[in-house]
Amino acid sequence: MDTQRSNRITEKTGNRDLLETGIQYLKGVGPKRAELLGKELNIYTFRDLLYFFPYKYIDRSKFHTVKEIDTNLAYIQLKGRITGFRTEGSKYKQRLIARFTDDTGTMELVWFQGIHWVTRNIEAGKDYIIFGRPAIYNNRISIAHPEIDPVEKTDLVFSGKLQPQYSSTEKLKNSFITSKTIQKLVAGLFQHIGKMDETLPQHLIHRLHFPDINEALYSLHFPAGHPQLKKATYRLKFEELFYIQLNILRQKNRNQQTIKGHVFASVGNYVNDFYHKKLTFELTEAQKRVIREIRKDLGSGKQMNRLLQGDVGSGKTLVAVMAILIALDNGYQACLMAPTEILANQHFATISHFLEGLSVNVKLLTGSTRKAERNTLFAELAAGDLQVLIGTHALLEDPVQFNNLGLVVIDEQQRFGVAQRARLRQKNTDPPHVLVMTATPIPRTLAMTLYGDLDVSEIDEMPPGRKPIMTIHYSDSKRLVMFGFLREQIKQGRQVYMVYPLISESEKLDYKALDDGYEAMVRAFPPPRYLVVCAHGRLKTEEKDLAMQLFQTGKAHIMVATTVIEVGVDIPNATVMVIESAERFGLSQLHQLRGRVGRGADQSYCILMTSHKQTAEARKRIETMINTTDGFVIAEADLKLRGPGDIEGTQQSGIPFDLKIASLSEDGLILQFARDTAQELLSHDPDLSAPENGMLVKQLKRLSRSQVDWSSIS
């Protein structure tokens, strides 16, 4: 148990909050079980148990009869009598079979394990209620390992219709802590604690017609019926999301009041020269709109914290360049941070090119920047002579001191943690404006939680002339067909990416697959007719750079790589993306990779190579990729398939994604409502000082103690 949590647990005597009592003091628990409950289920206190909700409910109000049994039925409940036992099978693979009869017919109950227990506890001639899943076994209907209870003892604690099911673990079951045990403990807990203090303000409860906290919690564990369960669930989901949003929004409002933003009042020569002399294409309407939104922020006197969402290839870099130039026009420095060296290099190249002839001093800082170069760079930066700094995490290091940093742009945010965002912001006495760009479209629900403190701008339009990428799925046996297709494309002057997965647990094998793949490609596409290059994280920077350069200049036809090219790389002439072992990639990653092609006017293709057999989930991912190129649809599908905890960025985010009852993938509407409610409440009472809101402050304090340090999230 981590110390922070164990410190919260008070001893039985003298505690102020009964719910903080250690779980071992609950009747029926004790030290041994307490340890198990903590280790296995994170239940350390009374409160933890109270908020350990059933994962499903089984309707036990209905009884089936033997005659009605249809093996398509899922779990069913029957009432009847055991008329006799017999055993079958060899001594070592014995099974126990009971004949079970009701008025309508006879069936069998079968045990393969725990036979001893059954023969000792279950008697022939007695009436039982059984519960389980029917199947056909040896041509007869049977239920294997049914739940079985004597009729006269139908549950001391359970009198409702819907029986809660609590998740348990193998270890717990071995120590006889089953779902039923937990149910009994929860029942005992309710008796022990009596009435609890309300956890939402009365005015909200009245207005929203919520059950009070006692009723809600009780209904969740022991629902009297579906309507009660529904009401209770709604309230508790709302409450959970409401407090998260209240916290984020309060922090956001506070930042807006206390942090003064640099005012970028004017647009000057840099912006004008760039716009009129350098820009060779018309901005899309979406780009224009977003730039307007950013300009408004920058001139407002408030500090900007804006998230710029836009699918891969939608032209976010250009928006960043405009924002940077506004900062420069107002006499400030700007920096742009990217998650990989390749991407930082690419941004540096693109932006230097955009700014050519505007006499802007732009430099690059990455892990491979030489010492001498670094020292000049740091000196120029501190003196204010260096106006734009582009780089990787290296920007976060201490020697990086700006003279007057006005704007921070962070690209591909999902790879940076919240803490890093905060560190960059501290690079100036008055925090700079922050523009966060992400190409992984984040479902709204997740964005509202992950980036709830940010304002969101969205580029929802692609530059003109783009053709949707065609996605094809081949199993490995079609490799030669795929090669033929590549030759065809190369003949037309196009270039090809071929990406291999790299997953750390089996890194050695992965690299072997990549090396083998590279060699196979060289054999299939031999020099001098073809040039195949390779780029991955294990290569020296020079080797990687050379490969990138050969590919970028069109000299190499095929780039074999790991996901180092996943983000940001922009080579419009590359029209084919082959993804090897595509079943091993997540959806958002596949989408990112696919976004490397389709950047020019030519038809582009994404080829997903997989082995013959795949899991159902992998098949679903491939299907989704084939069916849509819409990043938001993909993000939603990803969230549904994987759950929010696995979405890139959520782990480092510091936000508790082990939500107890709400689900970010399913409760989007409740989340929106909770956020609106929190916002409205704060607009009337920004620092929650009204007496009727006093309890909110207390709740927030308690939650931040037990969850995360919310103050670090901004």
- Residues lying near Mg ion in the complex (CB under 5 A) are found at 568
Contacts of 483 (CB under 8 A, 6+ apart): 524, 525
**CA–CA distance, 176 with 243 (Å, rounded to integer):** 36
CB of 368 to ligand ADP, least distance (A): 23
Question: Read out DSSP for 328-358?
Answer: HHTT-EEEEE-SSHHHHHHHHHHHHHHHTTS
Q: Which is nearer to ligand ADP, 318 or 496 (CB)?
A: 318
> Choosing among ligand ADP, Mg ion, none, which partner's interface includes residue 517 (Cβ < 5 to 8 Å by kind)?
none
| Range 80-85, long-range pairs (CB < 8 A, 24+ positions) | 80/127, 80/128, 80/130, 81/125, 81/126, 81/127, 81/128, 82/109, 82/122, 82/123, 82/124, 82/125, 82/126, 82/128, 83/124, 83/125, 84/124, 85/119, 85/124
CB of 274 to Mg ion, least distance (A): 18
- HSE, CB side, 13 Å, CA atoms: give it for residue 84: 3
Residue type, 514: L
> Choosing among Mg ion, ligand ADP, none, which partner's interface includes residue 155 (Cβ < 5 to 8 Å by kind)?
none
Per CB under 6 A, does 344 bind ligand ADP?
no
CB of 631 to ligand ADP, least distance (A): 10
Q: Which of 124, 281, 367, 526 touches ligand ADP (CB under 6 A)?
A: 281
Q: Which of 160, 223, 310, 644 touches ligand ADP (CB under 6 A)?
A: 310
DSSP letter for 478, please: G
Contact region with ligand ADP (CB under 6 A), list: 31-39, 88-96, 279-287, 296-304: 279-287
Per CB under 6 A, does 287 bind ligand ADP?
yes
In the numeric block, the tokens 């009198």 are attached to 159
Q: Report H helices in 492-571.
A: 507-524, 541-552
> Choosing among ligand ADP, Mg ion, none, which partner's interface includes residue 283 (Cβ < 5 to 8 Å by kind)?
ligand ADP
Residue type, 427: K
CB of 315 to ligand ADP, least distance (A): 3
Q: Report H helices in 259-339.
A: 269-273, 285-299, 316-329
DSSP letter for 327, please: H
CB of 358 to ligand ADP, least distance (A): 17
CB of 55 to Mg ion, least distance (A): 40
Distances in Å between the alpha carbon of 121 and those of 118, 142, 145, 148, 178?
5, 20, 14, 10, 18
Q: Which is nearer to ligand ADP, 340 or 693 (CB)?
A: 340
In the bound state, the residue with its beta carbon closest to ligand ADP is: 315
**CA–CA distance, 95 with 143 (Å, rounded to integer):** 13
Per CB under 6 A, does 629 bind ligand ADP?
no
> Choosing among ligand ADP, Mg ion, none, which partner's interface includes residue 418 (Cβ < 5 to 8 Å by kind)?
none
Per CB under 6 A, does 439 bind ligand ADP?
yes
Contact region with ligand ADP (CB under 6 A), list: 24-32, 174-182, 232-240, 307-315: 307-315
> Choosing among Mg ion, ligand ADP, none, which partner's interface includes residue 244 (Cβ < 5 to 8 Å by kind)?
none
**CA–CA distance, 152 with 156 (Å, rounded to integer):** 10
Contact region with ligand ADP (CB under 6 A), list: 90-98, 164-172, 225-233, 313-321: 313-321
Task: Report yes or no: 597 and 569 within 8 Å, Cβ to Cβ.
Answer: no
Q: Is 491 helix (H, G, I), strand (E, B) or coil?
A: helix
Residue 697 has phi, psi (to 5 degrees) of -60, -45
Per CB under 6 A, does 365 bind ligand ADP?
no
| 645-659 per-residue burial string, b: 16 or more CB within 10 A, e: under 16 | eebbbbeebbbebeb
Q: Which is nearer to Mg ion, 328 or 351 (CB)?
A: 351
Q: Is 432 exposed, middle or buried (0-12, 13-18, 19+ CB in 10 A)?
A: buried
Q: Which of 315, 406, 649, 668 touches ligand ADP (CB under 6 A)?
A: 315
Q: Which is nearer to Mg ion, 29 or 567 (CB)?
A: 567
Contacts of 507 (CB under 8 A, 6+ apart): none
Task: Report yes or no: 161 and 60 within 8 Å, Cβ to Cβ.
Answer: yes
**CA–CA distance, 687 with 313 (Å, rounded to integer):** 42
Q: Which is nearer to ligand ADP, 572 or 654 (CB)?
A: 572
Distances in Å between the alpha carbon of 349 and those of 175, 283, 352, 529, 549?
62, 20, 5, 29, 11
CB of 315 to Mg ion, least distance (A): 9
Per CB under 6 A, does 312 bind ligand ADP?
yes
Q: Which is nearer to ligand ADP, 213 or 469 (CB)?
A: 469
Q: Which of 54, 132, 223, 313 touches ligand ADP (CB under 6 A)?
A: 313
**CA–CA distance, 503 with 284 (Å, rounded to integer):** 38
CB of 607 to ligand ADP, least distance (A): 21
In the bound state, the residue with its beta carbon closest to Mg ion is: 568
Contact region with ligand ADP (CB under 6 A), list: 10-18, 264-272, 306-314, 675-683: 306-314
> Choosing among Mg ion, ligand ADP, none, which partner's interface includes residue 281 (Cβ < 5 to 8 Å by kind)?
ligand ADP
Site for ligand ADP in 545-584 (CB under 6 A): 570, 572
Q: Which is nearer to ligand ADP, 353 or 523 (CB)?
A: 353
Helices (H) then strands (E): counts for the chain: 24, 22
Q: Give me the sign of the Cα torsion angle 281, 284, 285, 287.
A: negative
Q: Which is nearer to ligand ADP, 117 or 281 (CB)?
A: 281
Per CB under 6 A, does 314 bind ligand ADP?
yes
Per CB under 6 A, does 463 bind ligand ADP?
yes
243, 244, 246, 247: CA torsion to nearest 10: 110
CB of 344 to Mg ion, least distance (A): 12
Contact region with ligand ADP (CB under 6 A), list: 33-41, 217-225, 305-313, 553-561: 305-313
Q: Which of 18, 267, 283, 382 touches ligand ADP (CB under 6 A)?
A: 283
Q: Is 146 helix (H, G, I), strand (E, B) or coil?
A: coil
> Choosing among ligand ADP, Mg ion, none, which partner's interface includes residue 287 (Cβ < 5 to 8 Å by kind)?
ligand ADP
> Choosing among ligand ADP, Mg ion, none, which partner's interface includes residue 400 (Cβ < 5 to 8 Å by kind)?
none
Per CB under 6 A, does 318 bind ligand ADP?
yes
CB of 449 to Mg ion, least distance (A): 24
- HSE, CB side, 13 Å, CA atoms: give it for residue 21: 19
Q: Please work out the total of residues on this chain that contact ligand ADP, with binding judged by CB under 6 A.
A: 17
Residues 596-615, one symbol each (x = binds ligand ADP by CB under 6 A, - = not), give ---x----------------
**CA–CA distance, 418 with 18 (Å, rounded to integer):** 35
Chain residues that interact with ligand ADP, rule: CB under 6 A: 281, 283-284, 287, 310, 312-318, 439, 463, 570, 572, 599
